[in-house]
Amino acid sequence: MTTTTMPMMDSYPAEINLDRAKLASTIDALIACEEACTACADACLSESSVAELTKCVRTNMDCADICGATARVLSRHTGYDANISRSLLEACATVCKSCGDECDSHAEMHEHCRICAQACRACEQACRDLLTAMS
């Protein structure tokens, strides 16, 4: 999948205190997770068993919002504050784990939940890897 994230990182004129490739791959994972969670929440709402998926929908929406906000903040480097990035990455890893666990509990019955759980796991790992690189 080709994204504009790495070319944008490469074009940034000032120094970035993080590995640009790792930062770009984390942003891509965040955006992919945001999309998967948004789509999964919508798919859950279309299921005949929607009442059983209320927690899944809520968790998906929370995860999508936090992933989107984190991707946007990580994409900005002017006046960068590492403490804000760390806090968002920690929150994102937490919500991705929670959402991945919730979606996993429905994965055998709903393919969209299986796909979403995978995106959440990948995003959680990307966030944790970037946090480690920031230490």
- Tens of pLDDT, residues 2-29: 789 998 888 888 888 888 899 999 999 9
The SS3 assignment for 4 reads coil
Contact of 19 with 63, CB cutoff 8 Å: no
Give the per-residue pLDDT at 1: 61
Over the stretch 29-86, which tens digit does the pLDDT of each residue have? 999 999 999 999 999 999 999 999 999 999 999 999 999 999 999 999 888 889 999 9
Q: Domains of the chain: which residue ranges? A: 19-134
Q: Which CATH class is domain 19-134?
A: mainly alpha
pLDDT given for residue 89 in this prediction = 97
**Structure confidence by residue, pLDDT tens digits, 82-101:** 999 999 999 999 999 999 99
pTM of the complete model: 0.94
Residue 42 CA to residue 18 CA, distance in Å, equals 35
**Residue 8, CA distances (Å) to 3, 70, 72 in order:** 9, 17, 13
Mean predicted confidence (pLDDT) in 102-116: 97
